[in-house]
Amino acid sequence: MRALMFSDLYLDIRRYSYGKECSLLKLVLVALTKLGFWAVLNYRFGFYLREKTEKVPLLNILVRVITLLTKLCVEVLSGVSISYHSNIGGGILIAHFSNIILGDGVVIGKGATLHQGVTIGVSGRGEKRGVPIIGDNFFAGANAVIAGNITIGHDVAVSANSFVNCDIDSCSIVNNQQLRIVSLKGSQHV
């Protein structure tokens, strides 16, 4: 388990500059206007506090109650649910918030970019049951689903509306959509 490092938080904030050079104060102000960043900030502090109070039972219970309440508030405001039991590297960018779920045990490397509707979590049965381990510089387009006991390498892009449940090598671009026309009768006959 990784404790919160302010370097991770700094990398998170830097991602919201989209490559532009600006002061740290301006970066913080810009980041604070993004609801996706609020979810990341809540995850970082909740993860850190839970880990630091693990050996002090009463304090840990209090921290767990408080972080549960802050997580619920952030979920309602942003539509982003990040489990405190996941492990996310610094520099994550939630480009468009809403309906994003990062489940228990998920591991994501540094520099990830997630768009709206992304789900990363548990799936499968037996030996195949588990959660994804994802490398650095991962990109997930809108409504992408990454699920199961799989490993995704570094520098992988998963296109919008894709479903990934198998291992993906580094430097890959994944698009498993196949467009096909199922009828030529028009929308009046649907």
Q: What phi and psi, each to the nearest 5 degrees, are found at residue 103?
A: -80, 175
For 124-182, the pLDDT digits (tens) are 888 889 999 999 999 999 999 999 999 999 999 999 999 999 999 999 999 987 777 77
Residue 3 predicted with pLDDT over 60: no
To which residue do tokens 């539509």 refer? Answer: 79
For 34-93, the pLDDT digits (tens) are 999 999 999 999 999 999 999 999 999 999 999 999 999 999 999 999 999 999 999 999
More confident residue, 20 or 169: 169
User: Residue 165 carries which side chain, given as an amino acid letter?
Assistant: N
Residue 9 predicted with pLDDT over 80: yes
Coil vs helix vs strand at 134:
strand
CA 99/CA 175 separation, integer angstroms: 21
CATH number given to 6-173: 2.160.10.10
The pTM of this model reads: 0.88
CA 32/CA 184 separation, integer angstroms: 48
Q: Residue 14 — pLDDT band, cuts 50, 70, 90?
A: confident
